[in-house]
Amino acid sequence: MQFWSDAADVPGDFGPSAVTVGKFDGLHAGHRAVIDTLRAISEDRGLVPTVVTFDRNPLSLLRPELCPDPLVSNEQKVELLEDAGIGAVLMVTFDERLRDMTPIEFVQQILVEALHAAVVLVGRDFRFGAKGAGDVALLESLGREHGFEVVIIDDVTPDGSRRVSSTWVRELLAAGNVREAARLLGGAPTVRSVVVHGAHRGRELGYPTANLAPNLEGFAPGDGVYAAWLIVDGERYGAAVSIGNNPTFDGVPAKQVEAHAIDQDFDLYGKTVALEFVDRIRGMWKFDSVTELVEQIARDEEVAREMLGIAPRVAK
């Protein structure tokens, strides 16, 4: 897959292309429907399936007080787009220059001059250019002027009413409903970070954990305990994951993510690992004693084994 962070970097002989434009945060089912159509059109017409996206949510500049946390990092987004079969990605910097670009300038400089678009796919509510002044009608008019076709993609509404959106996915994850979020995403919600040293309480309790650095890539689910897959150097290990401040102990960070790899005991410090969440086991509870906590951790591990299809622990 070809990738550029500036329209000026696109080779002059690139294209012709079929292009879609959007944030593509999380690459949920709505995004995937657009990409499936983009790829089908591209294959049929000999075009390069191309995505124009942004290095940040435009709200971070336009209305920072309303800007939500991203579902994926830029690196994760690019990986997801490549896995989905996109041929080229232009991830432009959403700065003051782009904010103030008129709809005509956006089409001329990015879609026409840089990407040589033959087809442009957008949703019915697509807006572009400074203050969202451009709409689908204007895009179609500019398409006739510059020789590209505009294809309208309908919303994806799996329950017959609410359209799939990144906002909906965030709501589900915040509530701990990782299974339903996965249905909308078309894959497990995932976070990624470096394993760092913690208080080593897990090892003292007989359940060592990998503590993830707080600068996570991805959107961590709401506080609780989850069954997940721990990805290390391309290998997958079943895990029980705790998210939250572990109220049984004092001084734990508010959003600590700790993963106990089932049936494994290895040194992960300094490694970048990923967690793919499968299902929620329980909420984050405060226990009256360490003994009660250890007993519950043992039960959590058994539930995680069942959810992940891992054989029960063999008694020694």
147 lies in the same domain as 7? yes
218 lies in the same domain as 109? no
In a domain, 176, yes or no: no
140 lies in the same domain as 227? no
Q: 262, 254, 206: which is closest to 230 by C-alpha? A: 262
Between CA 53 and CA 34, with CA 64 as vertex, the angle to 5 degrees is 25
Domain that holds residue 250: 189-308
* Distances 260 to 16, 190, 194, 229, 243 between C-alpha atoms, Å: 49, 16, 15, 10, 12
CATH of the domain at 16: 3.40.50.620
Provide the residue type at 50 as one letter: T
140 lies in the same domain as 263? no
The pLDDT tens digits along the chain (316 residues) read 999 999 999 999 998 999 999 999 999 999 999 999 999 999 999 999 999 999 999 999 889 999 999 999 999 999 999 999 999 999 999 999 999 999 999 999 999 999 999 999 998 889 999 989 999 999 999 999 999 999 999 888 877 778 899 999 999 999 999 999 999 999 999 999 999 987 666 566 667 888 999 999 999 999 999 999 999 999 999 999 999 876 555 555 667 899 999 999 888 999 999 999 999 999 988 887 888 888 889 999 999 999 999 988 765 5
The predicted pLDDT at position 251 comes to: 56
Q: Tokens 């991830």 map to which residue?
A: 91
* Distances 208 to 10, 30, 224, 235, 281 between C-alpha atoms, Å: 48, 39, 18, 19, 18
Q: 282, 274, 270, 271: which is closest to 257 by C-alpha? A: 274
In a domain, 296, yes or no: yes
218 lies in the same domain as 89? no
In a domain, 205, yes or no: yes
Provide the residue type at 293 as one letter: L
Cβ-based neighbours of 252, under 8 Å, separated by 6 or more: 199, 244, 245, 246
149-153 and 2-4 as β-strands: parallel, antiparallel, unpaired? unpaired
216 lies in the same domain as 113? no
How many alpha carbons fall within 13 Å on the CB side of residue 252?
22
The predicted pLDDT at position 312 comes to: 84
61 lies in the same domain as 194? no
Distance CA 181, CA 28 (A): 9
Count of domains in the chain?
Answer: 2
In a domain, 34, yes or no: yes
Distance CA 162, CA 228 (A): 28
14 lies in the same domain as 83? yes
The count of other CB atoms within 10 Å of the CB of residue 204 is 10
The predicted pLDDT at position 293 comes to: 86
In a domain, 133, yes or no: yes
148 lies in the same domain as 193? no
Cβ-based neighbours of 108, under 8 Å, separated by 6 or more: 146
Kindly provide the b/e burial profile for residues 38-47, where b requires at least 16 CB atoms within 10 angstroms of the residue's own CB. Answer: bbebbeeeeb
Distance CA 42, CA 119 (A): 9
- For 310, counting Cβ atoms within 10 Å of its Cβ (0-12 exposed, 13-18 middle, 19+ buried), the class is middle
In a domain, 179, yes or no: no
Give the alpha-carbon dihedral of 204, 267, 232, 283, to 10 degrees.
10
What is the total residue count of the chain? 316
Report DSSP state, residue 216.
Answer: -
Distance CA 278, CA 256 (A): 18
CATH of the domain at 206: 2.40.30.30
136 lies in the same domain as 259? no
In a domain, 73, yes or no: yes
The predicted pLDDT at position 200 comes to: 60
Alpha helices in 46-152 (DSSP H): 59-62, 74-83, 96-99, 103-106, 136-146
199 lies in the same domain as 265? yes
In a domain, 168, yes or no: no
148 lies in the same domain as 195? no
Q: 53, 41, 33: which is closest to 17 by C-alpha? A: 41
